[in-house]
Amino acid sequence: MSHYIANLRDIEFCLFDLLGREKVMGIAPYGDVDRDTSVGMLEEMKRLCENDLAESFVEGDRVGTVFNKETGNVTLPESFKKSYKAYVDGEWWRLDAPVELGGMKVPPSVRWAMAEMVLGSNPAIHIYASGYAFAQVAHVLGTEKQKKIAKHMVEKHWGATMQLTEPDAGSDVGAGRTKAVDQGDGTWHITGTKRYITSGDADFYDNIVHFVLARREGGGPGTKGLSLFLIPKFMFDFETGELGKRNGVFVTSVEHKMGLNVSATCEVNLGEKEPAVGYLLGDVHEGIFQMFKVIEFARMMVGTKAIATLSAGYQQALLYAKQRVQGGDMKIMNDKASPRVTIINHPDVRRSLMVQKSYSEGMRALVLYTASIQDEIELAIQAGDKERAEDMEHLNDLLLPVVKGYGSEKSWTLLGTESLQTFGGAGFTEDWPLEQYVRDAKIDTLYEGTTAIQGLDFFFRKVVKDGGRTLGLLGKEIQKFAESGGVHQEEKQALVKALGDLNGIVAVLVGHAMESQSEPEKIYQVGLNTSRCLMAVGDIITAWLLLRQADIAAEKLPNAGKDADFYTGKIASAKFFVQNYLPHITADRKIVEATNGAIMEIPVNAF
């Protein structure tokens, strides 16, 4: 039986009942996709994921990658290659490829709904298939000649990597030492070493185009001196795509990891054996700006992967709890002759399952809400509404670190403390997929910027730099809903209270940031709490989306028929989340207000 159970019922509820995505379908730029078409695509993706893609999930982990040190090539298990081929042969790559090169224009909300299923069933499939999204970047930002690279990447199904990290420059990207020398003929020679490079090599690609950050000769220090180069594994004819000689970019090792073992995480050397020939993207030195187009996609992907894995863990835990017979009913547990019951009848198991249900469904709504904002950006651009497009872009920017940082942190924590725990000792064995979920999901809190970095990015770049405008507008929208009346008044008042506490947290941190201009050490009091602020924002948005779902469910419940349990569950999970998690924000506010810089004065040797 497949390890993966897609929650398509909830995905469709989010897309259509909560977010009303049918209203953006059938019109430019999404004229080829209506509701029926999107539902058909989702159903087919569910079938593919639960069968063809999920089939190699376990073997991919157990066998992993095989690295040939002599050639620098990576070989993957045959079963995984079969799954990857099923994805490509099904032409799902068209979801990410440029429309001009055979891609299909679908609303990002539908695209990420389908991505959730791929990432939940076998995440490495989606990761290796990122080359089509990279081709989009090359096509949009590249010169006319470089657009031909994008064309070959799509038509010949080449792979791609994003290369930022170096042995001595991880999160501090601006410390990178990889160098680029202009050859005067439109090419550059790049030298250096990159580390922790995802999908650095695979034997189902004929070629790979590496997107590499390097500092050109004469480029200044820090991130401003970095440029972005396209470096193919094999040189090729620009007109035909026919492969030529091996380029000077080689994988020198593959990391042995905690999880996600079928995804080749590589160390890559550039220019040691022979010149690594690259092309300056767009013929402009705007490396960080260009790379952030890739990073934004990657952060959305990582957050979606994390949340998809939590959903998969919850589905497994729920199935187990309904079948596993253990112990008697608590109210008559002293009666040794009482019948044994399934563990879903035990109070703490129910609590645990409701934690998993509320977070997985609430954070799915967070992902799809964020994706719906991406829908609106493209619609505004299409309509020539520059002001709305900018507002939506700012909101998307605000939400991305929440999707990635909050989504990954909550998912990883809950997979271990709740989903696996539901199984008891059985969850610690390889008999069930939970132990692999836990190992595979840990990377999500580290990929594309750790949770702490997401917190810093959220506060300084998305709140302070914006003057708090976008967060304030979102807060007003949440407040308006919470004060709208109707059902669930008690829960909505709790949301108002939590929103006020969040505003208090932000105000304290902004105050410390301003004080740091004359008292530099005050900035430490901000740094100690930016992750806490990010988590509070995530909980409030999640509560808001869950309560919106609960209102819809309450309206539909009287005539729900066979869907009555689904809607009852929606109401229950919203109430549970509000009652159990929003009170933490009040406590967080008190912690933030009481924070001082004492911890920064402790001698290093005292730790």
Query: Is 448 part of the annotated catalytic residue set?
Result: yes
Helix (H, G, I), strand (E, B) or coil at 302: helix
First to last CA, the chain: 49
Q: How many CB atoms lie within 10 A of CB 257?
A: 17
- What's the token pair of residue 506? 């932000």
H helices within 90-130, ranges in order? 108-121, 123-128
- What's the token pair of residue 515? 């004080």
Q: Which of 137, 406, 92 is nearest to 297 (CA)?
A: 137
Give residue 585's identity as a one-letter amino acid code.
I
- What's the token pair of residue 230? 């396209």
- What's the token pair of residue 500? 């006020």
Give yes or no for a contact between 86 and 62, defined as CB atoms under 8 angstroms apart: no
82: left (phi over 0), alpha (psi -120 to 50) or beta: alpha
Q: What angle do CA 42, 43, 48 make, to 5 degrees?
A: 95
User: Over the Cα atoms of the chain, what is R_g?
Assistant: 25
| Residues sharing a CB contact under 8 Å with residue 531, sequence separation 6 or more, in sequence order | 405, 451, 452, 454, 455
Among 448, 491, 519, 521, the one annotated catalytic: 448
Q: Which of 53, 179, 74, 180 is nearest to 116 (CA)?
A: 53
**DSSP of 150-205:** HHHHHHTT-EEEEE--BTTBSS-GGG---EEEE-SSS-EEEEEEEEEEET---TT-
Give yes or no for a contact between 346 and 332, defined as CB atoms under 8 angstroms apart: no
Please tell me the distance from the alpha carbon of residue 318 to that of residue 354, in angstroms, as a whole number: 10
Give the dihedral sign, CA 34/20/5/82: positive
Strand 243-246 to 234-236 pairing: antiparallel
**DSSP 8-state symbol, 404:** I
How far CA 570 is from CA of 490, 503, 546, 548, in Å, comes to 16, 28, 8, 10
Active site residues: 448
